[in-house]
Amino acid sequence: MTAHIAAIGTALPPAVEQNTLWDLHFRELLDGSRVAERIFASAGVRRRHAVVSPLDLDVSASTTGERMLFYNAAAEPLGRKAVTTALERAGLHPADVGQLTVVSCTGYTAPGLDVQLAASLGLAPDAQRLQIGHMGCYAALPALATVADYVSVHRKPAVLLCLELTSLHVQPSTTDVQQIVSHALFGDAATALVVQPDEGRLEVVATSAVTDPSTADHMTWTVTDHGFRMTLSPHVPEVLGKHVRHAVERLLAEHDLTVPDVRGWAVHPGGPRIVDTVGHELGLPAEALEPSRHVLRENGNCSSATVLMVLDELLRGPALRPGDPVVAMAFGPGLTLYVTLLRAR
* Final residue before a domain boundary, out of 151, 169, 197: 197
Judge if 42 and 181 occupy the same domain. Answer: yes
Whether 207 and 179 share a structural domain? no
Residue 231 has what pLDDT? 85
Q: Provide the number of structural domains found in the chain.
A: 2
For residue 128, give its domain range: 3-197
Residues 37 and 73 in one domain: yes
What is the model's pLDDT at position 317? 86
Kindly report the pTM of this predicted structure: 0.96
pLDDT at 178: 87
Whether 128 and 176 map to the same domain: the answer is yes
Residue 64 sits in a domain of what CATH number? 3.40.47.10
- Quote the pLDDT of residue 221: 86
User: What's the pLDDT score for residue 288?
Assistant: 96
Same domain, 176 and 210: no
Measure the CA–CA gap between 141 and 330, rounded to whole angstroms: 7
Tell me which H or E stretch contains 231. strand 227-232
> Which portions of the chain are predicted below pLDDT 50?
none
Report the C-alpha gap between 192 and 133 in whole angstroms. Answer: 16
* pLDDT computed for residue 149 by the predictor: 97
Query: What is the spatial distance between Cα 61 and Cα 64, in angstroms, rounded to a whole number?
Result: 9
Q: Which of 134, 185, 194 is nearest to 3 (CA)?
A: 194
- Write down the pLDDT at residue 233: 82
pLDDT at 176: 86
Peptide bond into 111 cis (omega under 30): yes
On whether both 131 and 264 belong to a single domain, the answer is no
- Whether residues 87 and 181 share a domain: the answer is yes
